[in-house]
Amino acid sequence: CKGIGSETVVVSPLSDTYTVNLLGTGGSTTSSVQPRITVDVTSPVFIAATIILFCTNIPMGYDGPVTFKVNGVNIDNPPYVTIDSTNTGKEATCSIASPYSSVTFSKPTSAPVILPSLVSTIQSVSVTMYERILKEVIVPSAFTLTCSTTPNDVYIGNNTLSYTWQRDGSVINNATLIRYTALESGTYSCTAKLGSQSAVTSQNQIKVRI
């Protein structure tokens, strides 16, 4: 089975089963495909953090407009949304339009998703390796650790995060970035601080053996 359109070629091996709806200019076609909206973060964010909305499950080859709305109102800079007190916790949707007069969508608008909630303080801090919380690792050479926060550093808006790293309970000089490369064996922890707020210590430590 091989379907060829103006922009798309779909080839189906004999072992697969495809249902192909051709949304052409001739005749009349109604598609039941419904777009799906997702957001790149579901955990709380700080005020003025920018998130990204994704509209998926759109018919292959569709090149018409995609409209994003928050609380029923078109957003200014789709698909980016800056979270503040007016839209936090509100519903977001995406919609598609008929590319031809002969094509209609029975469900052109996605089911809504809820935008992230706002927080004003760091909720938690963890020492991670490859985004995982571990108790102990054995590595042949230097290894990079990350001081991960919730909300994380991507969603801090206009705020500033600062970091301090410790090895065996003692502060490591000049280790003030979100990541630290461990060059020695020891037990590592970190603290994160939002602006002038009190520092928050990591809820875990990682024992590194080199």
- State which amino acid sits at residue 84: D
99 in Cβ contact with 7 (< 8 Å)? no
Nearest residue to 46 via CA among 191, 197, 206: 197
User: 124-208 has which CATH code?
Assistant: 2.60.40.10
Q: Which pTM was predicted?
A: 0.74
Q: Work out whether strand 29-31 and strand 36-39 pair parallel, antiparallel, or are unpaired.
A: unpaired
**1, 53, 192 from 42: Cα distances, Å:** 40, 11, 21
Q: What are the structure tokens assigned to 59, written together? A: 């018919």
- 30-119 and 124-208 have identical folds: yes
82 in Cβ contact with 70 (< 8 Å)? no
Q: What is the pLDDT along the chain (210 residues), one digit of tens a residue?
A: 444 444 444 555 555 555 555 555 455 678 888 999 999 998 999 999 999 999 999 987 788 899 999 999 999 999 999 999 999 999 999 999 987 777 888 999 999 999 999 999 999 999 998 888 989 988 888 889 999 999 988 898 888 999 999 999 999 999 999 999 999 999 999 999 999 999 999 999 999 998
- Give the pLDDT of residue 62: 84
Classify 30-119 by CATH class.
mainly beta
84 in Cβ contact with 47 (< 8 Å)? yes
Domain segments of the chain as ranges: 30-119, 124-208
Spatial separation of the C-alpha atoms in residues 129 and 9, rounded to whole Å: 42
Sign of the C-alpha dihedral computed for residues 194, 198, 201 and 203 taken in this order:
negative
- Give the pLDDT of residue 63: 83
Spatial separation of the C-alpha atoms in residues 122 and 45, rounded to whole Å: 9
